[in-house]
Amino acid sequence: MIHLKVPPSFAPWIVQSTNGVVWLRSPLLHAAGFAHAFSTRIGGVSAAPFDGMNLGIADAPGEPDTWTHVNENWRRFLDAAEIGDRQLVRAAQVHGCAVLQSDRRPEIIRAAPPFVQGDAVLSGDARHVLAIRVADCVPVLIADVSTRVVAAVHAGWRGVVSEIIPATLREFVARGARMHDVRIAIGPCIQQAAFQIGESVALEFQQRGLGACVMPDPNCHAKWLGDLPAAINLQALSAGVAIEHIENFGACTHQNPEFFFSYRRDGARSGRLAAVIGG
């Protein structure tokens, strides 16, 4: 086992597996019995600058890792989280508001690209493990303790203002969930101090009732700072999720390069993190 010096806020979430993978587990979801994990960059086989646990697309422009590395990283990550024997369900993320239901649309389940476009995947089938990828956007895992329906959501600023979180929660309600049974874990993402946005983006937040989640950047005229986790928290509360049932990891991907990839920090030299959940 490796020894990590980590901020105190990280400690309750961190799991170090015997295969060398370091991953994150929400105490809230773990207590409710849901298999899930948020990745870090520690424990994979990718070479610099994607070292080591790059779970991104290998052959896309700007991401010249190899499929051999990426597939091995996925295998190690899922094995570490002890969910490697389930059907992995992924989507082609487009910063939109589509919620894909893998237990009702079998064409969504594919072993390799091309994947169906969508930014949330949802299932009530315990044989599925749902996955999304991020590199500053917010990974959100949602679970209902009664129906055992789960969802993995990719929420960048476009997804937030498009209301991908409320849309996903409406699908939970359509399946019989009650909001007091829903649990939400918000994983590592870019935090407000590092997320500079333009005035037009800030206006979109304000127009969606999320004005409290943006503020003028005190260090840069005509720029703003956006708080994506706060916006997601506000949308979940507005949908009826109890505040004690929302958990936020709180660490910044941009400001912690030893743990996390960040596209805003590293651009095309950034790998991808992932979040996964099963019922």
Query: Omega of the bond prior to 279 within 30 degrees of 0, cis?
Result: no
Q: Is the distance from CB of 188 to CB of 254 less than 8 angstroms?
A: no
* CA separation for the pair 73, 59 (Å, rounded): 15
- The pLDDT value recorded for residue 1 is 44
The per-residue pLDDT for range 215-265, each reduced to its tens digit, is 999 999 999 999 999 999 999 999 999 999 999 999 999 999 999 999 999
Lowest mean pLDDT segment, chosen from 23-27, 167-171, 189-193, 265-269: 265-269
Residues 133, 113: contact at Cβ < 8 Å?
Answer: no
Q: Could you tell me the pTM of the whole model?
A: 0.95
Tokens 């590092």 belong to residue: 194
Mean pLDDT value of segment 201-220? 97
CB 194 within 8 A of CB 222: no
Partnered with residue 128 across adjacent β-strands are 87
Q: If you average pLDDT over every residue of the chain, what do you get?
A: 93
Give residues with Cβ within 8 angstroms of 266, minimum separation 6. Answer: 49, 257
Beta strand 246-248 with 87-89 is: unpaired
Q: b or e along 22-48 (b: 16 or more beta carbons within 10 Å of the residue's beta carbon)?
A: bbbbbebbeebebbbbbbbbbbbbbee
| Residue 72 dihedral angles phi and psi, to the nearest 5° | -65, -35
Q: What is the distance between the alpha carbons of residues 264 and 195, in angstroms, rounded to a whole number?
A: 9
Residue 194 CA to residue 200 CA, distance in Å, equals 18
How far is 120 from 137, CA to CA, in rounded Å? Answer: 13
Q: Are 19 and 43 in contact (CB under 8 A)?
A: yes
Give all domains of the chain, ordered by start, each with its CATH number.
Answer: 11-191+227-278 (3.60.140.10)
Q: What is the pLDDT of residues 59-106, one digit of tens each?
A: 555 557 888 999 999 999 999 999 878 999 999 999 999 999 999 998
Report pLDDT for 147: 97
